[in-house]
Amino acid sequence: MYDNDEHETVAKTLWSETLIEVLCVALSKNKGDEQIVKILTDIRAKGFKDPYVISKVRNDIDNAAASRVKALLRKA
């Protein structure tokens, strides 16, 4: 399955989608920055672009979480 988003096209696997879910759960539970940065690093390694990740978080959680991810991506 492919995601034809304006930000990127990426082959999705169960593991890569699970990483996005793990990120959303960690953000929802207000985990520490270090844990979030590690997850973001893993997500980037799977080929996801930053705008896509920010958009997913915004849609799945809220704007505040998306802003936090945007700031933490600078550290990842």
Q: Residue 4 pLDDT more than 60?
A: no
Q: Residue 12 pLDDT more than 70?
A: no
pLDDT interval class at 17 (50, 70, 90): confident
More confident residue, 75 or 71: 71
3-state secondary structure the chain: CEEECCCCEEECCHHHHHHHHHHHHHHHCCCCHHHHHHHHHHHHHCCCCHHHHHHHHHHHCCHHHHHHHHHHHCCC
Q: Output the pLDDT for position 76.
A: 82
The domain locations on the chain are 2-73
pTM over 0.85: no
Convert the pLDDT of each residue in 27-72 to its tens digit.
Answer: 999 999 999 999 999 999 999 999 999 999 999 999 999 999 999 9
